[in-house]
Structure 1
Amino acid sequence: MTRYLTDDVPDDEVPETDDRDVTTLIPTAVDEVLATAETWLAWDGRPRYCDGNAWTPHKALRRVTDHLVDHLAEIECRLAGVATLPDRWHGRKLTLDSDAARFTEADLDEATSRLRRLALCYRARLATLPADVLDAPSDAWTLRQVVHHVANVTYYARMLGPLTP
């Protein structure tokens, strides 16, 4: 059986979909994340504890990036008809030493470039897929469900939230 990143998600967590244009979902989510991240230049170096985890600007942006990359790889593998590699990461439960680093304008600039490029990749790829491919039944979520799930990547930015000086 082919394994996908979404295989280990409980059935009650299957994302709801709607009629929004899938090509805009990820760019819109990235815009929201980056708008929040702009406030993180005021971060005082102390993690925020929310939803059972410690959150810092670097961790939130690392999780956003990882989530976008992981599911873009899943989409590409599924379209190519090959199995994805099982993930071995610890997700939001893991806080790295590097997550505690000072958050600077250069960090924000790098994250902005990286996330906007990933959003463009999603937009370009999804624009090539007709509705019947997006909604094709599979042994995992439909591709439309995957995209709606990924659009919730704003969760990671909300865990730290906007910061004020």
Structure 2
Amino acid sequence: MITELIPRAVDDVLNRAAADWLGWDGAPVNRDGNVWTPHKAIRRVADHLLDHLAEIDCRLAGLPTIPDEWHGRTVTTHADFARFTEIDLDEARSRLTRLAACYRARLQHIDEQALDDKPADGAWSLREVVEHVANVTYYARMLEKAG
């Protein structure tokens, strides 16, 4: 069900964070042409969720979308290198689960036709946007050690 795609993805990210990132050794992971740390992965998940939630809300309201101006995954900030602690995990859990709840609330009232309507400008349908956003697990998977 489409209303559960984002909550499941967020659960996956948070489960990875709880299982593997609290003991992070401070060494960034170089993968897919970028440097990855726990804080960067959480930041990218939150940014991605927020960006596309704003897109969905604007489209449903009949307003033009505001293009994102994130630097994206190519930027790693000094703050991204901080230790990842239990408090950080708790903050991430609060932030990400609330964003997931916003997606669930927003999507539960959209009928199937509206989910699949393609905008005249060729943009993704709302269903395609949600399926894309559900891939935020990508950011968490970047921290997996090569094995």
Q: Tell me which stretches of 4 or more aligned residues in structure 1 moved more than 2 Å.
A: none
Q: TM-score, normalised by structure 2?
A: 0.94
Counterpart code for 2:115: L
User: How many Å separate the matches in 2 of 1:128 and 1:29?
Assistant: 20
Per the alignment, residue 161 of structure 1 pairs with 144
Residue from 140, 145, 149 that aligns with 2:128:
145
Describe how 1:52-91 pairs up with structure 2 within 5 A.
52-91=33-72
Matches within 5 A, 1:1-165: 21-38=1-18, 39-138=20-119, 139=121, 140-161=123-144
Gaps of 5+ in 1: 1-20
How much has 1:110 moved relative to structure 2?
A: 0.3
2:86 partner letter: E
Supply the distance in 2 between the matched residues of 1:95 and 1:76 (Cα, whole angstroms): 29
- Which whole-Å CA distance do the structure 2 matches of 1:69 and 1:87 have between them? 10
Write the distance in 2 (CA, Å) between the matches of 1:81 and 1:133: 13
Stretches of structure 2 that go unaligned for 5 or more consecutive residues are none
TM-score normalized by the length of structure 1: 0.84
Map Cα deviations across residues 72-103 of structure 1 (whole Å, 9 max, x no partner).
Answer: 00000000111122222110001011000111
Query: Percent same amino acid among aligned pairs?
Result: 66
Report the alpha carbon displacement of residue 50 of structure 1 after superposing the two structures with TM: 0.3
The aligned length equals 142
CA distance in 1, matches of 2:10, 2:129: 16
Q: Match of 2:35, SS?
A: strand
